[in-house]
């Protein structure tokens, strides 16, 4: 294959100004070598501005230093035409810690002063140098020992004060609040088992209300029906019922209020039924007082002394305790009460007595307190009495249906008697035409039994008759002189008396 002729290279023209700055001097064809320059070599002076005086003073040659190039000590100017004389020495290797600039780079021992040099030999023979103190390590020896001690003492005081403040803050105290205060430790919420007193109280309290009239009398009541019916004691609402200008207000557990109307009253049993026009009421279910036993746990809920929502705990301490109180219509009220040691005070009247399942077993009615000289009566001493719920249910239903209720009546007045041989209710008089008159009871007879119930006094006789039904035939056992008689009696209504 024929070889192509090389294309001639065409060089671009050179700018004269650039050529003046970067071109080789005239007559020089190789790399620039000042040592081989001839005296006749032309020098190209570049156009430069004079340097500032500050730079001349800092970097200029010393006075008398000449204008030649800086050379190592002992070097001579070998340029053509130069004199064979040593130029001024700019530095010296004698006694210097620096290596000779003209020597090659080699590794050697550290550059130390001659007086610090140690003789060669085993390192173990060398004397041990002085050790640095903590002050020299931390502060470079610039802090005096006294200042260092003061600084440590100051840091210790700050630490003690900070620790004291931290302890007070943790324990709830304060340097500015006076005596130390210890707050109770916050713990997780208590888990209450079903049937606990707290759980029962939480279910019962919303169904127990406060009953108040415009005169200022206050008692309690219990919601027994979703239709807005409440049961309370008759003596709680008697004054308002007899005053046409007075009204009754029911205050619920959460604080809401409603005007109540009287549905029916039964002064002979000290019960009354009210009604409020309120929806979504919490109703307290009724239990059975016939199933109670002495020792059963009970809660009394009401508004004693105006303290709403109060709960007291106790047990059933006696059953069918005959209790007598004055009725609001002037008659006497006698009922076989549930006796409890749960605290019952003024204002508890009409409130709830519930069992361990949270069901209503009685309506709290009164307490028994000993008189105190010159001060009336004291507070509760652990003897409270409630109307059994079996009586409450029967009477409330009748009052809701008819607005009134009637009870069986024997038709006698009696006194309690106790002799060496017996105790019972002695007949003082017999009302003409009454059940007792028709049965043949006479004054002076001592009644010792009604049906299966033993009679130990006049209160027990009245309570036993009240538990019967109108028209029922019951057998009375009575002592007349030395003779014991069994007398059947057909009970009439107290409406006929």
What spatial distance separates the first Cα and last Cα of the chain, rounded to whole Å? 159
What are the backbone dihedrals phi and psi of residue 458, each rounded to the nearest 5 degrees, phi first? -65, -40
Question: In angstroms, rounded to a whole number, what is the distance separating the alpha carbons of residues 424 and 252?
Answer: 45
β pairing state of 352-354 and 297-302 = antiparallel
CB atoms within 10 A of CB 251: 17
Name the nearest CA neighbour of 306 among 273, 345, 341, 271.
345
Assess contact for 355 and 342: CB atoms under 8 A. no
Looking at the DSSP bridge assignments, the partners of residue 308 are none
Question: In angstroms, rounded to a whole number, what is the distance separating the alpha carbons of residues 135 and 143?
Answer: 7
Q: Catalytic site residue 349?
A: yes
Assess contact for 321 and 339: CB atoms under 8 A. yes
Q: Catalytic site residue 270?
A: yes
Question: In angstroms, rounded to a whole number, what is the distance separating the alpha carbons of residues 42 and 329?
Answer: 151
Residue in 213, 266, 270, 320 annotated catalytic: 270
Assess contact for 302 and 232: CB atoms under 8 A. no
Looking at the DSSP bridge assignments, the partners of residue 316 are 340
Residue 150, judged by CB atoms within 10 A of its CB (0-12, 13-18, 19+), counts as exposed
Question: In angstroms, rounded to a whole number, what is the distance separating the alpha carbons of residues 242 and 328?
Answer: 10
CB atoms within 10 A of CB 75: 13
Question: In angstroms, rounded to a whole number, what is the distance separating the alpha carbons of residues 332 and 337?
Answer: 15
Name the nearest CA neighbour of 65 among 100, 93, 90.
90
Q: For 1, what's the count of Cα atoms within 13 Å in the CB-facing half-sphere?
A: 3
* 3-state SS class at 385: strand
Residue in 210, 235, 266, 391 annotated catalytic: 235
Q: Catalytic site residue 235?
A: yes
Residue in 220, 308, 317, 349 annotated catalytic: 349
Question: In angstroms, rounded to a whole number, what is the distance separating the alpha carbons of residues 403 and 243?
Answer: 19
For the annotated catalytic residues, the residue numbers are: 235, 270, 349
């Amino acid at each position: 294959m024929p070889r192509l002729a090389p294309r001639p290279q065409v060089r671009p023209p050179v700018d004269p100004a650039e050529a003046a700055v970067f071109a080789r001097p005239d007559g020089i064809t190789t790399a620039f070598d000042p040592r081989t320059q001839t005296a006749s070599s032309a020098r190209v002076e570049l156009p430069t501005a004079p340097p500032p005086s500050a730079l001349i003073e800092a970097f200029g040659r010393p006075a008398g230093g000449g204008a030649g190039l800086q050379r190592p000590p002992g070097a001579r100017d070998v340029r053509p035409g130069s004199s064979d004389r040593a130029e001024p020495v700019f530095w010296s290797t004698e006694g210097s810690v620096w290596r000779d600039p003209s020597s090659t780079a080699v590794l050697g021992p550290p550059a130390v002063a001659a007086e610090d040099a140690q003789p060669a030999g085993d390192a173990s023979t060398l004397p041990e140098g002085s050790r640095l103190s903590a002050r020299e390590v931390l502060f470079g020896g610039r802090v005096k020992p006294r200042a260092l001690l003061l600084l440590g003492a100051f840091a210790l005081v700050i630490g003690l004060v900070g620790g004291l403040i931290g302890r007070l803050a943790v324990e709830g105290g304060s340097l500015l609040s006076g005596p130390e205060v210890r707050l109770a430790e916050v713990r997780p919420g208590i888990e209450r088992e079903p049937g606990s007193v707290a759980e029962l109280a939480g279910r019962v309290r919303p169904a127990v209300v406060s009953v108040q009239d415009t005169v200022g009398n206050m008692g309690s009541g219990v919601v027994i029906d979703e239709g807005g019916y409440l049961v309370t004691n008759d003596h709680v609402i008697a004054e308002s019922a007899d005053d046409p200008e007075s009204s009754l207000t029911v205050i619920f557990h959460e604080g809401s209020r409603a005007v109540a109307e009287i549905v029916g009253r039964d002064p002979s049993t000290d019960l009354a039924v009210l009604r409020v026009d309120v929806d979504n009421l919490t109703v307290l279910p009724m239990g059975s007082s016939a199933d109670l036993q002495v020792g059963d746990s009970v809660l009394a809920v009401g508004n004693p002394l105006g303290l709403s929502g109060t709960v007291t705990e106790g047990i059933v301490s006696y059953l069918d305790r005959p209790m007598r109180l004055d009725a609001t219509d002037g008659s006497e009220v006698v009922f076989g009460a549930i006796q409890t040691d749960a605290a019952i005070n003024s204002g508890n009247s009409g409130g709830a007595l519930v069992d361990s399942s949270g069901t209503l077993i009685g309506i709290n009615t009164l307490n028994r307190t000993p008189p105190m000289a010159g001060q009336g009566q004291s507070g509760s001493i652990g003897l409270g009495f409630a109307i059994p719920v079996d009586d409450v249910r029967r009477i409330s239903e009748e009052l809701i249906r008819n607005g009134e209720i009637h009870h069986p009546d024997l038709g006698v007045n009696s006194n309690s008697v106790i002799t060496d041989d017996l105790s019972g209710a002695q007949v003082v008089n017999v009302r003409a035409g009454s059940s007792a008159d028709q049965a043949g009871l006479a004054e002076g007879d001592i009644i010792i039994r009604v049906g299966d119930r033993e009679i130990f006094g006049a209160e027990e006789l009245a309570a036993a008759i009240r538990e019967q039904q109108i028209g029922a035939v019951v057998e009375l056992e009575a002592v007349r002189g030395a003779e014991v008689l069994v007398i059947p009696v057909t009970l009439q209504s107290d409406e006929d008396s």
